[in-house]
């Protein structure tokens, strides 16, 4: 059993809040899951940049051990459950489940080819269940109160609640728990207080760096797996990053592209080469020095990475760029930043 | 086991289960281009040139590792496949010196790949490493097919002299702590040189001959090196 606590999607901070605020819920979920799949040894792979969460989880594991909830013959049930806490070293790729296994095994964090899947060939080649912190945190409640009670919230196909990491130009950025099916408008305006200082909303990045852009037209989309899929938007790790009208989205795209060029592991050609080329072109676009053909190149690179990369990193590395191309096509063809397209540039 | 039926590019064929799509296609006379694939090494599906479209699959599928299944419908030259192959080749050509990779050059011709589409792009430059008498390493020509690392490790020699350094675009093959080859566990078996598809690893003598040195000059150079080593 592996708990993926490598939360490294830019803009995501839900697992950190869960681990720092309620570490025993994480452990309880992990123990129940380990019991369910019959695993006597579990790992928590924790993001290296979370030193405080590491300390808290370390204390919690020790407390649970002393209370007899971890270790040998738990509650006299003949069930053994050991938990080992492992820290990542800062690579985004190690949040990908198979690269995470490689990392725990002491190897370089390269994703594996799937199939075989973790359920048959996981950590150390053994069948492995791997779940995120937030998923495991839902387990104790469901076991205690039953699935029917849990299903009272949310939608038919997306039961329960979801944590959303709201950041950017909103009045009250933070972590919000809402039932699945709540609207984006409710989250951004009802809870997060709308745009800060009266500027207009320009764009929302949903799902993180590996996510896609939405606009004010999408505010009434309901936040559930099925509704978002229908709207062609990702839920991802629950990132909702708002940009007001002053933000230069070309600069935002450049930063996202730089992130992927920096974090690509270098295993497969599409991502190893594509993230670099995508970064170079977005640099040109951000600088207002677009070359003819750049838009076509971005599409070719983006679709090639999405279609042919080994893992989720490469498959989503172009999603934000491609979604921006759909929403604002002229942003990628204008050669003169200052005169014609001041709309996208920073006023200062 | 009984043969299964699949369809490749509209052609219905019967193949034995357990075959990869690449093998099945080959048996039907359909060529799928590959760069990293080598019969003697474990396929790692890194070049993604062999991707094909499989009906019902979300993304493209690497044919060198994906196995056939009954009723599978495969398209080896669909528009999506062609776009991915062409773009991969174009990006590769814009990053590397492919002058010693005739097979890849041929693919580029087949797919009308034009590396010139990527102006102002960074190339993976790297000086030639000439640190031993047996072979040179010219990583500006390295396509990162992984074959050398694999034959040096579990696929053949169990020597583990080379591995990966850097990340993303800056990934390269290197030695531990960047040590010169004679100071590593390398036994100079030459298998890495034998499987290199792009001239990044080359016998030193061949390299010197290409640079215009005569056999006599090379013999004299070697003699000098041996003499200086003795002192």
Judged by CB atoms closer than 8 Å, whether chains meet at B122 and A264 is answered as no
Which chain A residues in 193-252 lie under 8 Å from chain B, judged by CB atoms? none
Non-local (6+) Cβ contacts of A36 within 8 A are: none
Asked if the Cβ–Cβ distance from A276 to B168 is below 8 Å, we say: yes
Condensed to tens digits (0 to 9), the pLDDT of residues A183-242 reads 999 999 999 999 998 899 999 999 999 999 999 999 999 999 999 999 999 999 999 999
B168·A263 Cβ contact <8 A: yes
Mutate to test the interface with B, among A116, A307, A318 (most CBs of B within 10 A): A307
- What does each of the 231 residues of chain B score in pLDDT, given as a tens digit? 789 999 999 999 999 999 999 999 999 999 999 999 999 999 999 999 999 999 999 999 999 999 999 999 999 999 999 999 999 999 999 999 999 999 999 999 999 999 999 999 999 999 999 999 999 999 999 999 999 999 999 999 999 999 999 999 999 999 999 999 999 999 999 999 999 999 999 999 999 999 999 999 999 988 887 777 664
Beta strands in chain B (DSSP E): 4-8, 11-15, 51-54, 61-62, 73-75, 135-137, 162-165, 172-175, 201-203
| Predicted local distance difference test score (pLDDT) of residue A335 | 59
Hey, is the C-beta of A63 within 8 angstroms of any chain B C-beta? Answer: no
Mean pLDDT over the full length of chain B = 95
Q: Contacts of residue B111 in chain A, CB cutoff 8 Å? A: none
The verdict on a CB contact (< 8 Å) between A308 and B48 is: yes
- For A270-291, how does the pLDDT look when each residue is reduced to its tens digit (9 = 90+)? 999 999 999 999 999 999 999 9
What is each CA distance from B31 to A80, B73, B196, in whole angstroms? 53, 16, 21
Q: What are phi and psi of B19, to 5 degrees?
A: -70, 155
Rounded to the nearest angstrom, the minimum Cα separation between A308 and chain B is: 6
Q: Is the ipTM of this complex over 0.90?
A: yes
Its pTM surpasses 0.80: yes
Q: In angstroms, rounded to a whole number, what is the distance separating the alpha carbons of residues A39 and A31?
A: 9
DSSP codes, A146-194: -HHHHHTSB-SSSBSEEEEEEEESBSS-EEEEEETT-BHHIIIIIIS-S
Q: What is the pLDDT of residue B221?
A: 86
Q: Residue A277: its chain B contacts at CB < 8 A? A: 91, 94, 118, 121
CB contact under 8 A, B117 and A108: no
Contacts of B171 in chain A (CB under 8 A): 265-267, 272
A327 contacts chain B (CB < 8 A): no
pLDDT < 50: residue spans in chain A: 338-348
Could you say which of A280, A300, A315 has the minimum Cβ distance to residue B87? A300
User: A211: Cβ–Cβ under 8 A, 6 or more apart, which residues?
Assistant: A205, A234, A236, A239, A316, A319, A320
Query: What is the structure's pLDDT at B128?
Result: 97
Q: pLDDT tens digit string along B72-86?
A: 999 999 999 999 999
**What are the tokens at A271?**
């991502």
């Amino acid at each position: 059993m592996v708990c993926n606590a490598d939360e490294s999607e830019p803009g995501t901070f839900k697992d950190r809040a869960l681990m720092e605020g309620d570490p025993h819920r994480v452990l309880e979920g992990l123990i129940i899951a380990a019991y369910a799949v019959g695993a006597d040894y579990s790992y928590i792979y924790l993001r290296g940049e979370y030193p405080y969460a590491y300390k808290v989880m370390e204390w919690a594991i020790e407390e649970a051990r002393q209370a007899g909830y971890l270790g040998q013959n738990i509650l006299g049930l003949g069930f053994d459950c050991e938990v080992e806490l492992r820290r990542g070293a800062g690579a985004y790729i190690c949040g990908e489940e198979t690269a995470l296994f490689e990392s725990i095994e002491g190897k370089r964090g390269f994703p594996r080819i799937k199939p075989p899947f973790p359920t048959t060939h996981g950590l150390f080649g053994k069948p492995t269940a791997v779940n995120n912190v937030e998923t495991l945190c839902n387990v104790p409640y469901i076991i205690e109160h039953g699935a029917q009670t849990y299903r009272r919230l949310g939608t038919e196909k997306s039961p329960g609640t979801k944590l959303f990491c709201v950041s950017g130009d909103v009045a009250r950025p933070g972590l919000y728990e809402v039932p699945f099916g709540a609207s984006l408008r409710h989250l951004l305006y009802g809870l997060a207080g709308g745009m800060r200082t009266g500027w207009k909303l320009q764009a929302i990045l949903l799902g993180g760096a590996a996510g896609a852009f939405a606009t004010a037209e999408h505010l009434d989309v309901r936040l559930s797996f099925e509704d978002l899929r229908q709207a062609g938007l990702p839920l991802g790790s629950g990132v909702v990053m708002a940009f007001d009208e002053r933000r230069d989205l070309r600069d935002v795209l450049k930063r996202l592209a730089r992130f992927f060029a920096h974090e690509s592991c270098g295993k497969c050609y599409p991502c190893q080469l594509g993230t670099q080329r995508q970064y170079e072109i977005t640099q040109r676009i951000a600088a207002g020095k677009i070359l003819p053909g750049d838009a076509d190149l971005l599409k070719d690179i983006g679709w090639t990475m999405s279609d042919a990369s080994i893992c989720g990193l490469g498959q989503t590395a172009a999603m934000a760029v491609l979604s921006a191309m759909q929403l604002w096509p002229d942003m990628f063809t204008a050669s003169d930043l200052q005169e014609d397209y001041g709309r996208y540039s920073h006023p200062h | 086991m009984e043969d299964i039926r699949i369809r490749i590019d509209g052609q219905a064929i019967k193949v034995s289960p357990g075959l990869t799509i690449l093998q099945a296609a080959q048996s039907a006379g359909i060529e799928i281009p590959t760069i990293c694939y080598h019969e003697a090494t474990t396929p790692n599906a890194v070049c993604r040139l062999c991707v094909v479209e499989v009906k019902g699959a979300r993304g493209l599928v690497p044919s060198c590792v994906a196995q056939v299944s009954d009723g599978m419908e495969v398209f080896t030259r669909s528009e999506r496949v062609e776009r991915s192959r062409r773009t991969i080749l174009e990006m590769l050509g814009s990053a590397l010196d492919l002058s010693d990779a005739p097979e890849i050059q041929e693919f580029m011709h087949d797919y009308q790949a034009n590396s010139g589409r990527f102006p102002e792009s960074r190339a993976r430059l790297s000086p030639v490493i000439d640190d031993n008498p047996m072979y040179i390493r010219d990583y500006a020509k390295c396509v990162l097919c992984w074959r050398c690392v694999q034959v040096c490790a579990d696929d053949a020699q169990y020597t583990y002299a080379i591995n990966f350094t850097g990340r993303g675009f800056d990934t390269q093959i290197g030695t531990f702590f960047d040590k010169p080859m004679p100071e590593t566990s390398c036994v100079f078996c030459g298998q890495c040189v034998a499987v290199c598809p792009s001239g990044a690893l080359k016998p030193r003598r061949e390299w010197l001959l290409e640079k215009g040195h005569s056999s006599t000059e090379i013999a004299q150079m070697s003699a000098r090196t041996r003499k200086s080593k003795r002192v």
